[in-house]
């Protein structure tokens, strides 16, 4: 369902689909098995301008609108969510946040490098003791005479082991959690180390790392926004990130649907294709309805973003719906494939493992529901 894509959006969709089929699909299974980071593919995507995202051309970006950006995420994710994760983190959590919250110097210094993939970026919010409850971070930034000294530990950081730039959220006042701040930390700085995490259920060819910041000294101009803006910067990043996760989830669900339809037409039981059995058609119909609903919710949030209007509630609704849809559709796809769905000869078991994280990261489904209900009732149940 293309929902009246314009010529530029359709062109991007075709380009992304062609690239995904030619370069990503043939290696996705083996990269998943080997936990191999697809650095070569990331570089080629940078050369093609896919990493330009919604960043304006003046900063080296592609100036896409948010519907085009969602279409790109969907096409890449339809084939491999690990590759989509690298792109999402770089463009939504890091580059788009710098665009919205960074100084002119920070934009000029970092955005062109991120848009070409000369540098990769990561977003460090989660800590061993703090995930959903972001107001109680332990990473601490202390003011020094000529900058800041940061100490702390981050966990589950996508791109963390391959990034040159880390957007780190830290406390600056042990007694006042409202004094959070955001810092752009170059990962080559003394005291900064990353340790790759292994054994993940899915997204196995994306990089996930623990970050250790031991007395990392950064200059004053590493601060993004002011002291006290850290929470706002983190929420801006998540508003961007949840949008690309949602679009990626529609990709997983659409990939699951297409694989299911193909298999159901090919596989015969009781003298006919399984696609002709009414209970199989019921599964497929539910997938279609959930996918098209999710996509429309994403485009609604995207139109609000295009218009520069508030969209936190609509983005949370889209992320909640699309992530739950991806998990359901990937699971349904395994069911339709029967025993073969349980084997990595078909991509649907990878789709299921990759989908599973989407109801957890960038705010769990429970947190999305609390935000949505908070808007509806005017009562905040957390934070």
Active centre residues (catalytic) = 362
Query: Which residues have CB under 8 Å from 85's CB, separation 6+?
Result: 158, 203, 206, 248
Smallest separation, CB 382 to ligand FAD (Å): 4
Residue closer to ligand FAD, measured from CB, 128 or 219 = 128
Binding of residue 89 to ligand FAD (CB under 6 A): yes
Binding of residue 256 to ligand FAD (CB under 6 A): no
Q: Yes or no: say if 251 and 81 are a contact pair by the CB < 8 Å rule.
A: yes
What is the footprint of ligand FAD within residues 113-132 (CB under 6 A)?
A: 123-126, 131-132
Binding of residue 77 to ligand FAD (CB under 6 A): no
Among 156, 192, 243, 263, binds ligand FAD (CB under 6 A): 156
Nearest-angstrom CA–CA distance, 105 and 20:
35
Among 364, 372, 374, 375, binds ligand FAD (CB under 6 A): 364
Residue closer to ligand FAD, measured from CB, 9 or 90 = 90
Binding of residue 372 to ligand FAD (CB under 6 A): no
Among 83, 87, 157, 327, binds ligand FAD (CB under 6 A): 157
Residue closer to ligand FAD, measured from CB, 108 or 380 = 380
- In the bound state, the residue with its beta carbon closest to ligand FAD is 131
Binding segment for ligand FAD among 31-39, 112-120, 188-196, 358-366 (CB under 6 A)? 358-366
Binding mask 264-283 for ligand FAD (x = CB under 6 A): --------------------
Residue closer to ligand FAD, measured from CB, 3 or 382 = 382
Count of alpha carbons within 13 Å of 304, Cβ hemisphere only? Answer: 17
* # residues near ligand FAD by CB under 6 A: 23
Q: What angle do CA 360, 205, 299 make, to 5 degrees?
A: 50
Binding of residue 366 to ligand FAD (CB under 6 A): yes
Residue ranges that bind ligand FAD, judged by CB under 6 A: 89, 123-126, 131-132, 156-158, 200, 203, 208, 357, 360-364, 366-367, 370, 382
């Amino acid at each position: 369902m293309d929902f009246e894509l314009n010529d530029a959006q359709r062109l991007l969709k075709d380009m992304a689909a062609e690239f995904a089929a030619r370069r990503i699909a043939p290696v996705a299974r083996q990269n998943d098995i080997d936990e191999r980071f697809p650095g070569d593919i990331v570089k080629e995507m940078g050369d093609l301008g896919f990493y330009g995202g919604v960043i304006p051309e003046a900063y080296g970006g592609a100036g896409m609108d948010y519907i085009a950006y969602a279409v790109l995420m969907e096409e890449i994710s339809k084939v491999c969510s690990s590759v989509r994760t690298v792109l999402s983190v770089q463009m939504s959590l890091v580059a788009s946040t710098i665009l919205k919250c960074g100084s002119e110097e920070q934009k000029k210094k970092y955005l062109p490098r991120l848009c070409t993939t000369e540098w990769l970026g990561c977003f460090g919010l989660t800590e061993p003791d703090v995930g959903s409850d972001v107001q109680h971070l332990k990473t601490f930034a202390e003011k020094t005479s000529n900058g800041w000294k940061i100490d702390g530990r981050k966990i589950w950081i996508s791109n963390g082991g391959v990034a040159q730039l880390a957007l780190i959220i830290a406390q600056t006042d042990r007694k006042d959690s409202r004094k959070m701040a955001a810092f752009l930390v170059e990962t080559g700085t003394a005291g900064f180390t990353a340790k790759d995490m292994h054994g993940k259920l899915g997204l196995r060819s994306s990089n996930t790392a623990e970050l250790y910041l031991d007395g990392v000294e950064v200059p004053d101009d590493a601060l993004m926004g002011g002291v006290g803006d850290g929470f706002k910067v983190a929420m801006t990043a998540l508003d961007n990130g949840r949008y690309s996760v949602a679009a990626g989830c529609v990709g997983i669900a659409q990939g699951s649907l297409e694989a299911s339809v193909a298999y159901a037409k090919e596989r015969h039981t009781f003298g006919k294709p399984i696609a002709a059995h009414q209970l199989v058609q019921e599964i497929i119909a539910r997938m279609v309805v959930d996918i098209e609903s999710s996509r429309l919710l994403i485009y609604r949030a995207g139109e609000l973003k295009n218009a520069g209007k508030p969209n936190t509630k609509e983005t949370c609704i889209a992320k909640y719906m699309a992530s739950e849809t991806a998990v359901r559709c990937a699971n349904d796809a395994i069911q339709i494939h029967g025993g073969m769905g349980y084997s990595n000869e078909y991509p649907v078991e990878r789709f299921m493992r990759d989908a599973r994280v989407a109801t957890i990261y960038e705010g769990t489904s429970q947190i999305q529901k609390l935000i949505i209900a908070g808007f509806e009732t005017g009562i905040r149940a957390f934070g």
